[in-house]
Amino acid sequence: MSDSILSVHNLIGGYGKMTILNGTTFSVPRAAITTVIGPNGAGKSTVFKAIFGLLKLREGKIVFKDRDVVGLSQRALLNAGICYVPQGRNIFAELSVRHNIELGGVAAGRGIDVASRIEAALDLFPALRRKSAQQASTLSGGEQKQLEIARSLLLDPQLVLIDEPSIGLSPLMVQQTFKILQNLRDRGVSILMIEQNARSALEISDHAIVLELGQTRLADKADRVLHDPRIGQLFLGGAMEETAA
């Protein structure tokens, strides 16, 4: 068994004729939080789409638990243990909180005890448990993001890809959401996250990947990246804030 749960090798691809991933290569350690940082347009979200089979690659290999997963359907990837929480709000506003979470189990087919999985997910999110009967539209932005994470847990994923969870959240909600990711990590889930809120994200991460122009510029322990003066200047100080959307 290799130390990493996922590795991507030499990914090349993009949109139409435009190449965004220029040989992207990195690996993601098991049971750790790995955060991808880098300027807007670097290809961070694109690499997540590629991992989750939403972008057709021209070249490259994606290995999840020692198995090549290029070309698998989303359903197959979910069943293999990869979950994807995209950027933005992706809930069913009219449905109850509990019903939203339940939908996370749809891809599982028969054989899982959905009710007990919902309970286990709600254990991690006390605010969602309190509001489980309410319409999801009544949740705050941060609670809605937590709902998406809770829903993604229904298939008992081993790897969660999460794209900019902190966008639009209050600082307190960001800390709460990061805390939940740390809890998941402590339970053995591997987390690969993209964050513009780079400094706070790296503070709770184990590893960091700096992506630029579709290539890995640096991959190291998060605290080393956090204290690397070059990275500090480029991505963690004012420059990062100015380029944030």
Provide, rounded to whole angstroms, the least separation between the CB of residue 64 and ligand ADP.
Answer: 20
61, 68 Cβ separation under 8 angstroms: yes
Alpha helix (H) residue ranges in the chain: 44-51, 74-80, 97-103, 114-124, 126-130, 141-152, 171-186, 198-203, 222-226, 229-231, 238-243
> In the numeric block, which tokens belong to residue 70?
């290029």
> Counting beta carbons within 10 angstroms of the beta carbon of residue 116, is it exposed (0 to 12), middle (13 to 18) or buried (19 or more)?
exposed
Judged by CB under 6 A, which stretch of 37-45, 91-99, 125-133, 202-210 contacts ligand ADP?
Answer: 37-45
User: Please, which residues bridge with residue 11 across strands?
Assistant: 24
Judged by CB under 6 A, which stretch of 35-43, 152-160, 166-174, 221-229 contacts ligand ADP?
Answer: 35-43
37, 201 Cβ separation under 8 angstroms: yes
* Residue 166 near ligand ADP by CB under 6 A: no
Q: Tell me the site size for ligand ADP, rule CB under 6 A.
A: 10
* Residue 42 near ligand ADP by CB under 6 A: yes
* Residue 45 near Mg ion by CB under 5 A: yes
> In the numeric block, which tokens belong to residue 90?
């992706």
Provide, rounded to whole angstroms, the least separation between the CB of residue 135 and ligand ADP.
Answer: 31
* Residue 216 near ligand ADP by CB under 6 A: no
d(CA 112, CA 118): 11
d(CA 116, CA 113): 6
Provide, rounded to whole angstroms, the least separation between the CB of residue 20 and ligand ADP.
Answer: 5
Measured from the CB atom, the residue of 89 and 221 that comes closer to Mg ion is 89
* Residue 100 near Mg ion by CB under 5 A: no
Residue 165 touches which member of ligand ADP, Mg ion, none, C-beta under 5-8 Å by kind: none
* Residue 45 near ligand ADP by CB under 6 A: yes
35, 218 Cβ separation under 8 angstroms: no
Which member of 2, 10, 40, 170 binds ligand ADP (CB under 6 A)?
40
- Let me know how long the chain is: 245
Binding site residues, Mg ion, CB under 5 A: 44-45
Which residues contact ligand ADP (rule: CB under 6 A)? 15, 20, 38, 40-46
